[in-house]
Amino acid sequence: MTIGRRIPFQYTKETPYAHWRDCLPDYEKELENFRKNLAQLAAGHNPLATRPKRESYSQAPFRIVSGEAEEFTLADGERLFIDRPEEIRNLADELRGLRAIRIRSAGCEDGRPVEIETDKPVQILVAFFDNECHAVTRVIRPEWEWDPILGRALSFGDWGTLSVANHQLPAGRNKIDFGGGAYLIAGFVPDGVPLVSREVNPDENSGNPVDWLFE
């Protein structure tokens, strides 16, 4: 992070990005990919045209026990929040068709817990905002026993993208509470089903593919 602009790469312990100069290797890699992909286009090959669709994750059943929340089927064009009209866009293939849970955005800075119940152990998928410039999007993201699965898994208007992490839940009742901030429960997957992590290209399912040139 700098005073004026947010560094456009994800902070990790291995790559802390303390200064803009730390981004140079990443920009050099993007330049290399850009030249390679331009050469493919010049040769008449469009990688996007042959990119296979990925299968949706398997659905695990669940029930909402309590909380100001609403169950819905995850798809492009659906509302992310109960009380806002903006729609989900550029949804990752893996999430399409999953039964998800949306919350009310108003007042979620103070917390918006949801209690769910399952008959068997499951993996819960939760989407967090990548951009925390809005007070409502600031969530203390859990680290212990939560694994990043889908980076930039969906888009939400001017609020930017959301990335998905998963966590193991035992059978029975479980309370989902991050203390404050907005999130989306993107679905539940049966325990033991392997989930392949990847960084999603937001242009995969949009009509304006550009980012792939640099990847």
Is the confidence at residue 10, as pLDDT, over 70? no
For the entire predicted model, the pTM comes to 0.73
Is the confidence at residue 133, as pLDDT, over 80? no
Question: What per-residue confidence (pLDDT) applies to 131?
Answer: 79
Q: What is the pLDDT of residues 143-192, one digit of tens each?
A: 677 889 999 999 988 888 999 999 999 999 999 998 888 999 999 999 99
Q: List the 99-103 sheet strands across, edge first.
A: 69-73, 99-103, 184-190, 122-129, 161-169, 146-155, 198-199
Q: Name the residue ranges covered by the structural domains of the chain.
A: 1-51, 63-199
Top-confidence residue, 44 or 90: 90
Q: What is the pLDDT of residues 25-45, one digit of tens each?
A: 888 888 898 898 888 888 887
The per-residue pLDDT of the chain, averaged, comes to: 84
For 103-119, give one letter per residue: b (16+ CB within 10 A) or e: bbbeebbeebebebebe
Question: What per-residue confidence (pLDDT) applies to 130?
Answer: 87
Among 59-73, 106-120, 191-205, name the one with the lowest average pLDDT: 191-205
Nearest to 105 by CA among 79, 74, 126: 79
Nearest to 147 by CA among 131, 132, 164: 164
Q: What is the pLDDT of residues 202-214, one digit of tens each?
A: 655 554 556 667 7
- Rounding to the nearest 10 degrees, give the CA dihedral for residues 140, 144, 149, 155: 0
User: What percent of the chain has pLDDT above 90?
Assistant: 49
Top-confidence residue, 6 or 82: 82
Top-confidence residue, 122 or 22: 122
Is the confidence at residue 12, as pLDDT, over 90? no
Is the confidence at residue 201, as pLDDT, over 50? yes
Question: What per-residue confidence (pLDDT) applies to 134?
Answer: 67
Instruction: Tell me the mean pLDDT in the region 195-205.
Output: 76
User: What percent of the chain has pLDDT above 70?
Assistant: 81
Is the confidence at residue 136, as pLDDT, over 80? no
Instruction: Look up tokens 């992310």; give the residue.
Output: 80
